[in-house]
């Protein structure tokens, strides 16, 4: 019941954050850069994160928070929140409607629930440990596509793609040629939700951070999907390689990523 109450609280603050984002669509006052030419942050990212941290700290003052813009607020390590106020900030800054709020909660290093809200569509993806995954309250499951050649995939590219050789372009080319196609949405948290709901069959990416994947990882797993690193080994939220799929195409996908 304790975690259930925290989950309900998280839904409420997610909706508060959603209202801030909707209010500020096409009204961004400030855009700055964190590292490189592609890693944007807006005043809205900061406003949303400030709200979420304030609400959590008031309700659960001993909980730790790991957030994209302000970093680690470490207190009790047995209770951790992972917050991305706007995943897909570049999309948001350009009014391209593919961005989301991502909130994950872990107890004793085990993910207990994840929430991902898409302000553009109003969709709320959620999962609670051992209770399945949902989209707007209705149960979702991964797809049943059984071969890579019949699959639709999704990926993303790291912010240092101009300067790093580990830029994902080789994988993008290889997998485009052996599948129905590869989409690039620019919001990893939503990409994981699309795997969970069966809209796509697989996802991979490099150099993501815990706040990008914490919520989405649980949503995929609770929807019946599979998540590993590029070698097919157990994934954790601090891993810099992620492969998520419906499970059926996972071995094929892993094989192509290791060519």
Task: Tell me which of 201, 212, 221, 222 is the catalytic residue.
Answer: 212
CB 152 within 8 A of CB 179: yes
Task: Tell me which of 80, 87, 112, 205 is the catalytic residue.
Answer: 87
Task: Tell me which of 86, 103, 242, 249 is the catalytic residue.
Answer: 86
3-state secondary structure the chain: CHHHHHHHHHHHHHHHHHHHHHHCCCCCCCEEECCCCCCEEEHHHHHHHHHHHHHHHHHCCCEEEEECCCEEECCEEEEEEEEEEEECHHHHHCCCCCCEEEEEEEECCEEEEEEEEECCCCEEEEEECCCCEEECCEEECCCCCCCHHHCEEEECCCCCCCCCCCCCHHHHHHHHHCCCEEEECCCHHHHHHHHHHCCCCEEEEECCCHHHHHHHHHHHHHCCCEEECCCCCECCCCCCEEEEECCCCHHHHHHHHCC
Query: Is 150 part of the annotated catalytic residue set?
Result: no
Query: Is 163 part of the annotated catalytic residue set?
Result: no
Task: Tell me which of 14, 42, 89, 228 is the catalytic residue.
Answer: 89
Q: For residue 129, what are its two tokens?
A: 């440990």
Task: Tell me which of 68, 69, 191, 205 is the catalytic residue.
Answer: 68
Query: Is 55 part of the annotated catalytic residue set?
Result: no
Query: Is 212 part of the annotated catalytic residue set?
Result: yes
Beta pairing partners, 128: 113
Task: Tell me which of 80, 84, 112, 221 is the catalytic residue.
Answer: 84
Rg (CA), the chain: 17
CB 40 within 8 A of CB 75: no
Active site residues: 68, 84, 86-87, 89, 212
């Amino acid at each position: 019941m304790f975690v259930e109450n925290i989950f309900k609280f998280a839904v409420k603050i997610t909706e508060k954050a959603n209202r801030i984002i909707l209010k500020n669509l096409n009204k961004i006052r400030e855009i700055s850069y964190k590292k490189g030419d592609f890693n944007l942050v807006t005043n809205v990212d900061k406003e949303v994160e400030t709200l979420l941290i304030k609400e959590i700290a008031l309700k659960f003052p001993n909980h730790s928070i790991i957030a994209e813009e302000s970093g680690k607020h470490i207190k009790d390590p047995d209770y951790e929140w992972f917050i991305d106020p706007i995943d897909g900030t570049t999309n948001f800054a350009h009014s391209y409607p593919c961005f989301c709020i991502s909130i994950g909660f872990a107890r004793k290093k085990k993910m207990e629930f994840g929430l991902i809200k898409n302000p553009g569509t109003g969709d709320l993806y959620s999962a609670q440990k051992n209770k399945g995954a949902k989209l707007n309250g209705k149960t979702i499951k991964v797809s049943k596509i059984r071969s890579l050649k019949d699959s639709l995939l999704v990926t993303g590219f790291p912010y240092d793609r101009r300067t790093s050789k580990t830029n994902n372009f080789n994988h993008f080319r290889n997998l485009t040629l052996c599948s129905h196609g590869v989409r690039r949405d620019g919001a990893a948290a939503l990409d994981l939700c699309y795997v969970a709901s069966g809209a796509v069959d697989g996802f991979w990416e490099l150099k993501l951070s815990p706040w990008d994947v914490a919520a989405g990882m649980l949503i995929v797993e609770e929807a019946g999907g599979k998540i590993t690193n590029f070698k097919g080994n157990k994934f954790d939220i601090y891993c810099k390689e992620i492969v998520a799929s419906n499970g059926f195409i996972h071995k094929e996908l892993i094989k192509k990523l290791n060519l």
